[in-house]
Structure formats: C-alpha cells, structure tokens
C-alpha cells in the first residue's frame, strides 16, 4: 500500500511525497506489526522540508526466524533520477515475538530512528542540503509524543 501525501503549505499542492512502510514478517509475528500507525504518524513530517533529494521513501521491516535462509543485513539504496530511497531493516525475531504490542511498536520506531542515522552513508544521497539531524530530531519528537519511545529528558 502506497500513501500519497500532499506536501505542507510551503510547497505547491500538486507535488506529492510517497511514503510506504511495509514488512516481511513471519506469520506468528505479523499481527504485531504497526506499519500503518507509523505511516500515519510520519506523514505529518514531510521529508521534502528537509531535502529536495528525496520524493519517495520505501521502508521495509524484516522479521523472520533465524532458520529461514535469507540475507541478514540491513540494506539501503538511493536513485537520484527518481529521488527514491529504499530501506530494509531487520528486527530481532525472538525479541519481537516475545514483545508486548507496546514493546513491538517501540522496536519498530527505534529501528526507524536508527536507520535515519545511516542516511549520510547512503551512496548517491547528497549530504547537503539534507538536514539529517533535524529530520532525526523531528521524527524522534514525533515518536516520543506518540509514546512509542521513551521521552528524552533535557538537563
């Protein structure tokens, strides 16, 4: 399912941002996946406000038992022509299977946040003018507001 979101009033209403969050999850854990909740919350943040280099983001959570033969590395790719960012991140199957629903969305939210920190290393994605740190901070604040991750206390 692809969600097309109109951009904020700072950009023309005809411009679209595509955000798709999916998962490849073992049948026993798939009911815990909260992709639609994450997608709904993240649509409030428009990545175009942080960079002109990305118009589409496709994020996939992988949650499979260790005995399923497949690669186990998180992956990312970027197409400058399409301005498309594709990300794949793994969640620990055993921990996710044993997690409560609250712990499960916390694992997903934290993994999404951790993946943002890898953006500066993605081949082809210009480091400037993308404000990775501001994007990270805004996503973190959004996840804290939704109580998906613990609130950071500033001193």
Instruction: Give the separation between CA 73 and CA 35, rounded to whole angstroms.
Output: 20
Query: CB under 8 Å to 48, separation ≥6 — which residues?
Result: 7, 11, 15, 17, 54, 55
Kindly state whether residue 150 falls inside one of the protein's structural domains: no
User: Is residue 16 classed exposed, middle or buried when 0-12, 13-18 and 19+ CB atoms within 10 A define those classes?
Assistant: middle
d(CA 147, CA 155): 20
CB 61 within 8 A of CB 26: no
Residue 92 has pLDDT above 50, yes or no: yes
41 inside domain: yes
pLDDT at 77 over 50: yes
pTM of the entire structure?
0.82
Residue 151 lies in a domain: no
Of the two residues 126 and 32, the one the predictor is more confident about is: 32
Whether residue 21 lies inside any domain: the answer is yes
Is the confidence at residue 55, as pLDDT, over 60?
A: yes
Number of domains forming the structure of the chain: 1
Note down the domain range covering 29. 3-145
Residue 97 placed within a domain: yes
Question: Per-residue pLDDT averaged across 8-18, rounded?
Answer: 51
Q: How confident is the model at residue 15 (pLDDT cuts 50, 70, 90)?
A: low
Provide mean pLDDT across the span 53-66.
90
Q: Domain for residue 153, yes or no?
A: no
Tell whether 69 is covered by a domain: yes
pLDDT at 132 over 70: yes
Please report whether residue 30 resides in a domain.
Answer: yes
């Amino acid at each position: 399912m692809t969600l097309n979101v109109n951009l904020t009033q700072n950009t023309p209403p005809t411009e679209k941002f595509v955000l798709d969050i999916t998962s490849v999850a073992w049948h026993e854990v798939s009911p815990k996946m909260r992709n639609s909740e994450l997608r709904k919350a993240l649509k409030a943040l428009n990545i175009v406000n942080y960079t002109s280099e990305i118009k589409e983001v496709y994020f996939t959570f992988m949650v499979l038992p260790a005995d399923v033969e497949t690669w186990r590395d998180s992956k990312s790719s970027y197409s400058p022509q399409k301005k498309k960012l594709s990300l794949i991140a793994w969640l620990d199957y055993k921990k996710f299977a044993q997690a409560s629903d609250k712990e499960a969305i916390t694992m997903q939210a934290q993994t999404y946040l951790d993946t943002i920190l890898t953006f500066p290393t993605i081949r082809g994605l210009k480091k400037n003018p993308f404000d990775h740190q501001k994007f990270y901070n805004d996503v973190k604040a959004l996840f804290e507001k939704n109580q998906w991750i613990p609130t950071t206390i500033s001193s």
